[in-house]
């Protein structure tokens, strides 16, 4: 009963303090989601109140309990007002040298993201990356073997994604690349017509993936896994490909032939030979287009 009697007054006071801070411009609305990170404060307040109730009685206990609640409210308000804003957008540029490398790989690990990857002649550079982000600074590392890792740490509670991550990545056309991505809700644009690709693996949630590819060398696997997927794979005229799409409601438009199914659809250009793209898409609701109409730009 004591907890019930304190809960609603404390909630009203806290809501009033937050509203006052927002209305006076001391607290930005985009920072309110940070309040979810303060849930351990509830446990601390309850624990302190239990200690007070067992060591003090009467008016002293009531006054001490009220002070604990008020200090917790003041501390929460100060936290979301004073600490650095994790929602603020920052940007950073990264690059690395190509050296003697002939093969390289890139692995991207992020939450909700907007990712653009292009291939071009970068001279002595293996890659150039421009990242706009909120939250923790992305971790970008390059090993001596040419393994490029781009990781955006997630410090949110319960997996709530409130961070911004926009990556514009340029890859050198002078090496052969393996590309892997693990993300959440993502918009991907991979303009890879000018580079050699050994494999592509995209794993995420609801995503929109658009891939422009050049001529394959050998069997090049292109694997895309997720939830609701909209996928476009564009290749040069005459390039061979096999396509397997599986999930719930599936739509496949392969070189102008449109197919619908529940479960799985497959397509092949016929005699595949030794150089072709092996496209596999697995998700819930999948809409997949595979064609030779490479979009301009």
User: What pLDDT, in 10s, does the model give residues 173-200?
Assistant: 999 999 999 998 899 999 999 999 999 9
The residues that bridge with 257 in the sheet, in sequence order, are: 254
Any domain includes 296: no
Say if residue 52 is in the same domain as residue 126: no
Any domain includes 297: no
pTM: 0.72
Identify the domain boundary among 20, 51, 82: 82
Say if residue 62 is in the same domain as residue 136: no
Identify the domain boundary among 82, 108, 136: 82
Say if residue 199 is in the same domain as residue 241: yes
Any domain includes 52: yes
Identify the domain boundary among 54, 82, 110: 82
How far apart (Å, rounded) are the C-alpha atoms in residues 272 and 240? 6
Say if residue 94 is in the same domain as residue 160: yes
Say if residue 60 is in the same domain as residue 114: no
Any domain includes 37: yes
Dihedral angle sign, alpha carbons of residues 54, 59, 60, 64: positive
Check residue 73 and give its pLDDT. 74
The CA-atom distances, in angstroms, between 206 and each of 47, 159, 234 are: 41, 16, 20
Is residue 27 pLDDT above 50, yes or no? yes
Check residue 72 and give its pLDDT. 76
Any domain includes 103: yes
Is residue 155 pLDDT above 90, yes or no? no
Domain count within the chain: 2
Q: What average pLDDT does this structure show over 124-141?
A: 92
DSSP-derived letter for residue 156 is -
Q: Could you list the residue range(s) of the whole structural domain that residue 213 is in?
A: 90-291
Say if residue 186 is in the same domain as residue 60: no
How far apart (Å, rounded) are the C-alpha atoms in residues 41 and 77? 12
Say if residue 29 is in the same domain as residue 60: yes
Closest CA to 294 of 230, 213, 224: 213
User: What pLDDT, in 10s, does the model give residues 225-280?
Assistant: 998 999 999 999 999 999 999 998 999 999 999 999 999 999 999 889 999 999 99
Any domain includes 74: yes
Say if residue 34 is in the same domain as residue 121: no
Say if residue 75 is in the same domain as residue 130: no
The residues that bridge with 120 in the sheet, in sequence order, are: 172
Q: Measured between alpha carbons, how far apart are the two ends of the chain, in Å? A: 67
Say if residue 155 is in the same domain as residue 256: yes
Say if residue 244 is in the same domain as residue 130: yes
pLDDT bin (cut points 50, 70, 90) of residue 3 is: very low
Asked if 124 and 98 touch (Cβ cutoff 8 Å), the reply is: yes
User: What pLDDT, in 10s, does the model give residues 43-86?
Assistant: 777 777 777 777 777 777 777 777 777 777 777 777 766 665 55
How far apart (Å, rounded) are the C-alpha atoms in residues 219 and 221? 6
Say if residue 140 is in the same domain as residue 275: yes
Any domain includes 159: yes
């Amino acid at each position: 009963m004591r907890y019930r009697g304190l809960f609603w007054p404390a909630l009203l006071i806290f809501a009033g303090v937050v509203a006052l801070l927002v209305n006076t411009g001391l607290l930005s609305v985009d920072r309110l989601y940070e309040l979810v990170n303060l849930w351990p404060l509830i446990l601390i307040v309850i624990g302190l109140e239990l200690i007070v109730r067992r060591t003090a009685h009467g008016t002293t206990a009531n006054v001490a309990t009220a002070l604990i609640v008020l200090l917790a409210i003041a501390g929460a308000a100060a936290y979301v007002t004073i600490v650095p804003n994790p929602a603020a957008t920052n940007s950073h540029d990264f690059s690395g040298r190509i050296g003697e490398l002939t093969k390289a790989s890139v692995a991207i690990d992020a939450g909700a993201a907007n990712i653009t990857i292009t291939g071009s002649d970068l001279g002595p550079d293996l890659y150039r990356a421009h990242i706009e982000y909120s939250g923790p600074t992305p971790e970008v590392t390059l090993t001596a073997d040419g393994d490029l890792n781009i990781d955006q740490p997630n410090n949110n509670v319960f997996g709530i994604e409130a961070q911004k991550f926009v990556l514009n990545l340029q890859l050198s056309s002078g090496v052969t690349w393996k590309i892997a991505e693990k993300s959440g809700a993502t918009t991907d644009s991979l303009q890879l017509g000018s580079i050699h690709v050994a494999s592509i693996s995209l794993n995420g949630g609801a995503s929109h993936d658009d891939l422009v590819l050049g001529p394959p060398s050998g069997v090049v696997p292109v694997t895309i896994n997720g939830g609701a997927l909209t996928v476009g794979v564009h290749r040069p005229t005459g390039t061979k490909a096999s396509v397997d799409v599986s999930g719930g409601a599936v739509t496949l438009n392969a070189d102008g032939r449109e197919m619908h199914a529940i479960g799985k659809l497959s397509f092949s250009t016929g005699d595949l030979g030794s150089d072709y793209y092996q496209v596999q898409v697995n998700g819930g609701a999948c809409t997949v287009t595979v064609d030779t109409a490479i979009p301009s730009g």
